[in-house]
Amino acid sequence: MSEGTENNFPPGEYGLEWMEREGDNVILNLGPTHPATHGVFRIVVELDGETIVNCDNQIGFLHRCFEKESENTTWGQVIPYTDRLNYVSPLMNNVGYVMAVEKLIGIDVPERAEYIRTIICELSRIWDHLLCIGAALVDLGALTNFWYFWRPREDIYDLVEELTGARLTTCYTRIGGLMADLTDGWIRKARHVIRETIPNAIRDVDRLVTKNRIFMDRTIGIGPISAEDAIAWGFTGPCLRAAGVPYDLRKDQPYLVYDRFDFDIPITDNGDTYDRYLIRMEEMWQSLRILEQAFDQIPGGPINVENWDVILPPKDEVYENIEALMAHFKIIMEGIKVPPGEVYHATEAANGELGFYIISSGEGTPYKIKVRPPCFAIFSAMPEMVRGHMVADLIAVMSSLNIIAGELER
């Protein structure tokens, strides 16, 4: 800072003592609201010219007390809160949470429910990757791809709306089953989307971007992370697989019915922004493969467990049968009685490992719920990844990590 200029941003007052030092470095503040930050968070960057010397990520602007609120609701009432974690793929959070509770209770859901959960998870994975890639390209100045990807996203929104009644706040799963079965003709419509709209859009963007000279110059070698560092930082999901570690819960610890499908886990070696893009593109093709097989294999039968201690009885039973009425009343007023104990259950969400650590004291309300959001660990490693790069690269790296403030800050 040149002499005579008044310092309007004394870093010490903002908890950034490390920035108070001699030198000509410029401090740049990005956020909390900034067009390039996907969600509300703040990045304070120390620059030498245009080169990043250090950066500090500050989060918490979207903290909504998910965990505190959960301790004051019944087990079932937590499900709508989980929609708001990763709001780009809410169905995956619904599935992750109820599977953790089912693990603690010790029940298995019917096969058809497992298939439907797999289908909505894979649809959400595509949904999430479409937005991540589209938005990452917007940050690099390529707006067209965002609209190319908007079309299939809109089709997926329509499918989800038909299934759940909502486009964003789905609240579709229930402890012990699902809110509703697939509607008539849903699979036919979904087949059309996964055979026509999604592949066409991916091919369009692939042709436009993957071998594009400008895109390659902007992303190859930018924000790389080695396999050892990625593991030490707790990376999971596409960002870890881009660094060459083939860890995917769908293969390593198969849940739902993933062990019945034939699909591959793509990995690359360099761990840079370009590789993260490639991984996400390939994962969408693999998800389409899973969906095709799931639509072929899906069996008939019930979608809910036949256990009225856990799931609401059918409405016509409630009106005519005292047992069902009592079960309904008890679940609504007191909540499901989950046996005392604690479990950690992880699923492979679009960003990586989404873990739920839940503790029950045997009451109708959870004693504690802790969410392990995948992007929390990934975002904490960002300062190390961008040091020595340019400011514009910071934006490219950040959008390739796919930070979703809703699950980051809960």
Partner 1 sequence: MSPASSVLEHIRERFSDHVLETLSFRGDDTVVVKRDALLSFMRFLRDDPEMSFDFLMDVTAVDWLEREPRYEVVYHLYSSGKNRRLRVKTRVPDDDPEVETVTGIWKGANWFEREVWDMYGIRVKGHPDLRRILMYDGFEGHPLRKDYQKDLRHPTVPSLDFPDPEKDVRRVIKATDLMRGSGREEGAQEPEKD
Q: How far is the CB of 28 from partner 1 (least distance, A)?
A: 20
Q: How far is the CB of 344 from partner 1 (least distance, A)?
A: 6
Give the interface segment with partner 1, choosing from 109-117, 149-157, 165-173, 234-242 (CB under 8 A): 234-242
| Residue 364: CA count within 13 A, CB half-sphere | 14
| Residue 231: CA count within 13 A, CB half-sphere | 6
Does 231 bind partner 1 (CB under 8 A)? Our answer is yes
Nearest CB to partner 1, comparing residues 155 and 409? 409
**Phi-psi bin for 173: left (phi > 0), alpha (psi -120 to 50), beta?**
beta
Does 353 bind partner 1 (CB under 8 A)? Our answer is yes
Does 376 bind partner 1 (CB under 8 A)? Our answer is yes
> In this structure, are strands 341-349 and 177-178 parallel, antiparallel, or unpaired?
unpaired
Hey, which residues between 99 and 118 contact partner 1 (CB under 8 A)? 103-104, 106
Q: How far is the CB of 143 from partner 1 (least distance, A)?
A: 33
Nearest CB to partner 1, comparing residues 120 and 349? 349
Query: From CA 79, how far away is CA 119, in angstroms rounded?
Result: 19
Cβ-contact 40, 405 below 8 angstroms? yes
Determine the 3-state secondary structure of 24 from DSSP: coil
Query: From CA 92, how far away is CA 85, in angstroms rounded?
Result: 10
Does 269 bind partner 1 (CB under 8 A)? Our answer is no
Does 233 bind partner 1 (CB under 8 A)? Our answer is yes
Query: From CA 354, how far away is CA 338, in angstroms rounded?
Result: 21
Token readout for 254 is 């198969």
List the one residue from 42, 174, 218, 372 that touches partner 1 (CB under 8 A). 372
List the one residue from 278, 279, 377, 394 that touches partner 1 (CB under 8 A). 377
Q: How many residues bind partner 1 (CB under 8 A)?
A: 44
| x/- letters, 33..62, toward partner 1 (CB under 8 A) | --------------------------xx--
Does 359 bind partner 1 (CB under 8 A)? Our answer is yes
Q: How far is the CB of 190 from partner 1 (least distance, A)?
A: 33
Nearest CB to partner 1, comparing residues 146 and 235? 235
Give the interface segment with partner 1, choosing from 107-115, 260-268, 294-302, 349-357 (CB under 8 A): 349-357
Give the interface segment with partner 1, choosing from 182-190, 203-211, 233-241, 306-314 (CB under 8 A): 233-241
Q: Which of 389, 375, 400, 401 is nearest to 46 (CA)?
A: 389
Determine the 3-state secondary structure of 148 from DSSP: helix
Q: How far is the CB of 233 from partner 1 (least distance, A)?
A: 4
Q: Indicate the burial class of 203 (C-beta count within 10 angstroms; 0-12, 13-18, 19 or more).
A: exposed
Q: Which of 103, 160, 104, 101 is nearest to 127 (CA)?
A: 160
Does 77 bind partner 1 (CB under 8 A)? Our answer is no
How crowded is residue 192: how many other Cβ atoms within 10 Å of its Cβ? 12
Q: Which of 150, 93, 110, 102 is nearest to 127 (CA)?
A: 150
Q: How far is the CB of 189 from partner 1 (least distance, A)?
A: 37
For residue 349, report the phi and psi dihedrals to the nearest 5 degrees.
Answer: -85, 180
Q: Where are the beta strands (DSSP E) in 268-395?
A: 341-349, 352-360, 368-372
**Which residue ranges make up the site for partner 1 (CB under 8 A)?**
14-15, 59-60, 63, 65, 67-69, 72, 103-104, 106, 229, 231-236, 245, 247, 252-253, 341-344, 346, 353, 355, 357, 359, 367-368, 370, 372, 376-377, 379-381, 409-410
